[in-house]
């Protein structure tokens, strides 16, 4: 662990202590020795804050620690069933009310990106932020033609701050992988690597604009979700311009009810949007906390979601997508043996796992949650029980699925707030079954063949010369079957090394024998015993080898 990482760890524990979060420091074994250093510091004595509530102190500490910690607070803020209410209320403020940076800096950043004054780009630009988040903040502007837009500007110095904290996570993951027995199953190094890709992608607003455009195409003909239009000619790596939408934030339940919104339809639509993105489109918004979700209530009986902030999106490997869908359906059907078999087939559990034992464990966790609405399900308990199962059967964490798992938790948290009586299983099951039927339909098969036909034709055009060449070599007696594997190559290298060593020993033996004979001739050429001495010496040399 280098000095930079160690300094950051000390800085983190100092922030926690300064905000009166001593219990968190004491609970973290790594920080326990450092805690006393901080408590002994007079600077810490005068800086500690005890007047604020517990929830406010947690929020202020996360804000001070930086974007990675703020994002953690945003992610857990949707799970009010798992958090004390005072902490959940404060963490909800991290969704869009992070302290902003000065509007003058945002203006300067945009002007640098465009290479000209903003007055030449926009008819108006409000330096007072509309919303501020962990990585960027949003300003209202008006185009030259009068259309209203929002301008998203990256916070200054974000890459350096995030790289520093990623270095800390890398160091902690490496320590865990080396010294923690459970690391082989939880794979901390791979998890941090996956998170690194996700968080660094957020720093490129051109990528976010492309994500928004893709999501808009996916839902172009849908009444479920609206995605704002991207103004591509005004987008840069650190500045993005989109259509401004006017909706009600999904967490504002009082306003939604005042508008006569059909809350149940809204909750059902949310589940349908999630499963449609994951399985039909294989492209899902993976940062669905309430600060990024609005509701359009032009028709309150048919409310429509509107999404913003597309910095984090997820996709799945087709194999993982298939196994996930099969797992969901098996759970919906209470086919717990199939759940166990799918985990075995996918390689998510070791091949020595007994299917019947895993079937019994999954049944024990899943059976109590059926026929119950969200309000009656303790997902905290379910998660803990599932974690116990994964540990018992040595189930390895799948880093590529972490984004999906995080999004699923966010969606379930939103559903709990919107409509606690929602039956998620009954809502999701028809969507998944329809997708599974479409995957094996004749129309899908014809579509796949049509898509792959050009590649197939190219391969077929290259086949005759290959066949002709093979036949010609066989007729000429030059046909040889070449088998190249890493094991064979390693064996060849071992044989070559043994041959080189043998040649070296023969050379040394020859020199040794020549030396002995030369000494013999020089001292007593008539004595025949020197031949025996020479032979014995060479034999002893080879025996040592």
Catalytic residue numbers, as ranges: 287
First to last CA, the chain: 44
Q: Are 212 and 308 in contact (CB under 8 A)?
A: no
Quick one: 148 exposed, middle or buried, by C-beta within 10 A (0-12, 13-18, 19+)?
A: middle
Q: Is 146 left (phi over 0), alpha (psi -120 to 50) or beta?
A: left
Q: 19, 25 in Cβ contact below 8 A?
A: no
Pick the closest to residue 124 from 109, 108, 144 (CA basis): 144
Find how far residue 301's CA is from the centre of its chain.
37
For the chain, what's the residue count? 545
Question: Token pair of 246, please?
Answer: 């006017």
142 — phi, psi (to 5°)?
-130, 130
CA–CA–CA angle 423, 429, 430 (5° rounding)? 115
Strands 284-285 vs 225-226: parallel, antiparallel or unpaired: unpaired
Give the three-class secondary structure for 48.
coil
Q: How far apart are CA 154 and CA 161, in angstroms?
A: 13
User: What are the start-end ranges of the E strands in 120-243?
Assistant: 122-125, 131-132, 136-143, 148-154, 225-226, 239-243
How is the chain split among helix, strand and coil, in percent rounded to 5? Answer: 65, 10, 25
Radius of gyration of the chain from Cα atoms?
A: 33
- Look at residue 226 and give its three-state secondary structure: strand
What is the DSSP code string of 483-538?
Answer: ---HHHHHHHHHHHHHHHHHHHHHHHHHHHHHHHHHHHHHH-TT-THHHHHHHHHH
- Integer Cα distance of 317 and 109 in angstroms: 37
> Could you tell me the maximum CA-CA distance found in the chain, to the nearest angstrom?
123
Integer Cα distance of 405 and 340 in angstroms: 19
Which of 22, 85, 28 has the alpha carbon at shortest distance from 49? 22
**CA dist., res. 100 & res. 130, Å (int):** 10
Which of the 8 DSSP states describes residue 94?
Answer: G
Do residues 349 and 382 lie in contact, with contact meaning Cβ atoms separated by under 8 Å? no
């Amino acid at each position: 662990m280098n000095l930079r990482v160690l300094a950051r760890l000390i800085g983190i524990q100092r922030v926690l202590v300064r905000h009166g979060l001593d219990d968190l420091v004491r609970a973290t074994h790594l920080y326990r020795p450092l805690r006393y250093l901080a408590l002994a510091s007079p600077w810490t004595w005068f800086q500690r804050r005890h007047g604020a509530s517990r929830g406010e102190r947690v929020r202020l500490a996360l804000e001070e620690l930086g974007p990675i910690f703020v994002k953690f607070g945003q992610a857990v803020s949707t799970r009010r069933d798992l958090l004390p209410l005072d902490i959940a209320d404060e963490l909800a403020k991290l969704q869009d009310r992070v302290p902003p940076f000065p509007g003058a800096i945002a203006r300067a950043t945009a002007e640098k990106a465009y290479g000209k004054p903003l007055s030449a780009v926009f008819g108006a630009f409000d330096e007072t932020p509309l919303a501020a988040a962990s990585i960027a903040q949003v300003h209202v502007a008006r185009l030259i033609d009068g259309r209203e837009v929002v301008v998203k500007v990256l916070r200054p110095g974000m890459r350096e701050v995030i790289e520093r904290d990623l270095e800390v996570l890398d160091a902690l993951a490496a320590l865990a992988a080396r010294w923690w027995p459970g690391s082989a199953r939880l794979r901390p190094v791979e998890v941090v690597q996956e998170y690194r890709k996700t968080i660094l992608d957020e720093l490129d607003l051109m990528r976010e604009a492309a994500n928004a455009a893709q999501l808009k195409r996916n839902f172009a003909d849908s009444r479920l979700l609206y995605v704002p239009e991207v103004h591509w000619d005004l987008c840069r790596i650190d500045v993005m311009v989109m259509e401004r939408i006017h909706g009600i934030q999904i967490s504002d339940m009082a306003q939604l009810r005042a508008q006569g919104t059909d809350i149940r339809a809204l909750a059902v639509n949310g589940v349908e949007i999630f499963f449609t993105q994951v399985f039909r489109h294989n492209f899902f918004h993976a940062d669905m906390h309430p600060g990024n979700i609005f509701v359009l209530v032009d028709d309150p009986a048919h409310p429509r979601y509107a999404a913003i902030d597309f910095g984090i999106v997820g996709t799945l490997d087709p194999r993982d997508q298939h196994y996930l869908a099969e797992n969901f359906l098996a759970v919906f059907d209470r086919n717990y043996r199939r759940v166990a078999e799918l985990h075995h087939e996918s390689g998510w559990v070791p091949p020595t796992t007994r299917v019947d034992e895993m079937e019994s464990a999954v049944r024990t966790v899943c059976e109590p949650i059926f026929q119950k609405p969200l309000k009656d399900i303790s997902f905290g308990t379910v998660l803990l029980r599932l974690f116990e199962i994964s540990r018992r059967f040595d189930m390895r964490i799948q880093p590529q699925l972490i984004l999906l798992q995080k999004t699923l938790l966010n969606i379930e948290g939103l559903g709990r707030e919107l409509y606690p009586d929602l039956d998620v299983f009954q809502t999701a099951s028809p969507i998944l079954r329809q997708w599974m039927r479409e995957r094996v339909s004749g129309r899908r098969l014809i579509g796949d063949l049509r898509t792959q036909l050009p590649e197939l034709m190219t391969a077929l055009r290259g086949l005759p010369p290959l066949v002709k060449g093979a036949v010609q070599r066989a007729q000429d007696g030059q046909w040889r079957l070449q088998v190249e594997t890493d094991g064979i190559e390693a064996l060849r290298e071992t044989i070559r090394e043994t041959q080189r060593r043998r040649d070296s020993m023969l050379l040394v033996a020859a020199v040794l024998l020549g030396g002995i004979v030369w000494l013999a001739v020089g001292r007593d050429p008539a004595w025949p015993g020197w031949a025996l001495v020479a032979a014995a010496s060479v034999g002893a040399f080879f025996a040592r080898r």
